[in-house]
Amino acid sequence: MIEINHSKIKETNRKKIIALLLEKSEITKLDISRKLDISITTVSTNITELKNEGIVEDVRSLESTGGRKAIAIKLNESCKYSIGVALTSNHLKISLVNLKKNIIENIRIRHKKDGIENIIGLLIKNIDILMQKYNISSEKLLGIGISLPGTVDFKEGIIKYSYFLGVKEFNLKEKFEYLNIPIYVDNEANLSAYYEFLNRKDKLENLLYVSITDGLGLGIIINGRIYRGDNNSSGELGHIKIAMDGKQCKCGAKGCLEAYTSMNSLIDSYNEDTNSNITDIGEFEEKYNQNDKVAQKILNEYLKVLSLGISNLIMILDPNSIVIGGDINNLLNDKIDILKKNIYKDNLFTDENSCNISIASFKESYLLGAAMMPIEEFLEIK
Task: State the residues that interact with Zn ion by CB under 5 A.
Answer: 239, 249, 251, 253, 256
Q: Cβ of residue 149: shortest distance to Zn ion, in angstroms? A: 12
Considering the complex, state which of residue 198 and residue 259 has its C-beta at the smaller distance from Zn ion: 259
Q: Cβ of residue 111: shortest distance to Zn ion, in angstroms? A: 24
Tell me if 338 sits within 8 A of 301, measured CB to CB.
Answer: no
Considering the complex, state which of residue 73 and residue 256 has its C-beta at the smaller distance from Zn ion: 256
Tell me if 28 sits within 8 A of 71, measured CB to CB.
Answer: yes
Alpha-carbon 143 to chain mean position: 15
Considering the complex, state which of residue 51 and residue 247 has its C-beta at the smaller distance from Zn ion: 247
Name residue 209's beta-bridge partners.
Answer: 219, 323
Q: Cβ of residue 297: shortest distance to Zn ion, in angstroms? A: 24
DSSP string covering 173-239, please?
GGGGGGG-S-EEEEEHHHHHHHHHHHTTTTT-S-EEEEEESSSEEEEEEETTEE---TTS-TT-GGG
Considering the complex, state which of residue 55 and residue 306 has its C-beta at the smaller distance from Zn ion: 306
SS3 276: coil
SS3 170: strand
Considering the complex, state which of residue 125 and residue 168 has its C-beta at the smaller distance from Zn ion: 168
Q: Cβ of residue 313: shortest distance to Zn ion, in angstroms? A: 16
Residue 379 CB neighbours (<10 A): 16
Q: Cβ of residue 260: shortest distance to Zn ion, in angstroms? A: 10
